[in-house]
Amino acid sequence: MSRLIAGYSWEWVSKKNKDAFDIHIGDVELKWNSVSLDWVNSGNSINEVGCIHTTQGYDLNYAGVIFGNEISYNKEKDEIVIRKENYHDKNGKNAITDPEHLKRFIINIYKTIMLRGIKGTYVYVCDASLREYLASHVAIYRSERLIKPTTKSVVVPYQNSVPVYDLDAAAGIFSDLQDVKDFEWIEIPARYKATDDLFACRVVGESMNRVIPNGSVCLFRKYLGGSRSGKIVLVESTELQYSLFGSRYTVKEYESRKVVEEEGWSHQSIILKPLSDDPEFKAIELSDDELAIIKVIGIFECVLV
C-alpha cells in the first residue's frame, strides 16, 4: 500500500495513447493512473502515478509525492508562486480565474496528498527554488544523530539501561502521527538509577534549543502526578480521530494558568512554552475545552546524546 502521487504538472497523454509516458523527470518516465475507479487497488497502480482524485479517501502506508513545475518559490518575496502555464488540470484551470484563488487551490492539493501516507511520506520537488525552500524545513535527523545503544555486552533492563523508544517528539508544534512500538536500550548517566519509570526518545526541532539541541536523545521520567508547572514535559495529543493510527508529540515548558472560584480552582488554560533563541517560535495555548485531548507522559531529565 505505497503509491506515487503528483500534482497536475503534466498532461495526461497516455489516456489516449497507451504507449506514451506522461511524466518526464530526467531519465525517469512515468504514466498517470490508467484507471480512475479504485486506482489504489488496481493491478498496475504500483507502476503508475496517482492524483488527488484517485487517492482521496485512501490511507496508504507510504506516499511518494512529486511536486511538479507548476509550483515554485520566490526567495526575494518569501512566497510560494504558481506557474499557470505548467498546470494541466483543465477543470481546475478553466474554472478558476483569480490567480490567488488558483494558488490556494493548488497548495491545498499538495497539502491533501501529503497526508495520504500514514507511516511516512517521501517528497521529490522538480523546481530547484522550491526544493531548496522545503529542504530547509525537512532535516534528516536519523542520519545526523544515531541512537547509541548500551555498550555493555549484556543489557540488563532497568539496571544498566533504559528503553529508548522509536519516537520523534517535535520541539515545535505537535509531531506527525506516530505509532510507538519498537525500542532499544541505552545507558544513562551514573547519577541516575535506572528505574522502570525512566525512558528516552529523540527530540527534533529548534523550539527548545536553549536546553535541547535539535536531534538529541533525551531522558524522561514517566509522569505519575504532581505539579508540572515550570517543568519541561513530553506531551501527547490524543485526539479521537487519531487514536487508531497513533499519536502526536511535542516537548515544551509547561505553564498552567488557573482561575480561583468559591468552590475551589479550575484550569483556565495550559501554555506550552518554547525555550528557543529563535523568536519566531510561539507558545501553544490550550483552552479549557482542549485539555482533554492532551496528556503529559514524561518530565524531562537530561540530554543523553
Domain ranges of the chain: 2-138, 149-303
Max Cα separation, the chain? Answer: 78
* Spatial separation of the C-alpha atoms in residues 27 and 292, rounded to whole Å: 51
pLDDT score of 12: 92
How far is CA 229 from each of CA 177, 258, 271, 304, rounded to the nearest angstrom? 26, 11, 9, 23
Please, how many CA atoms are within 13 Å of residue 231, restricted to the half-sphere of its CB? 19
68: nearest Cα among 45, 89, 98: 89
pLDDT score of 242: 44
For each of the chain's 305 residues, which pLDDT tens digit applies? 899 999 999 999 999 999 999 999 988 999 999 998 999 999 999 999 999 999 988 889 899 999 999 999 998 898 999 999 999 887 766 777 788 999 999 999 999 999 888 888 899 999 999 998 888 777 544 434 444 555 555 778 888 889 988 788 877 676 665 555 657 888 888 888 889 999 998 898 888 988 998 888 999 999 988 888 899 999 988 664 444 445 788 899 998 876 666 666 555 678 899 998 888 888 888 876 667 778 899 999 999 88
pLDDT score of 6: 96
Is 149-303 in CATH node 2.10.109.10? yes
Check: CB of residue 138 under 8 Å from CB of residue 176.
no
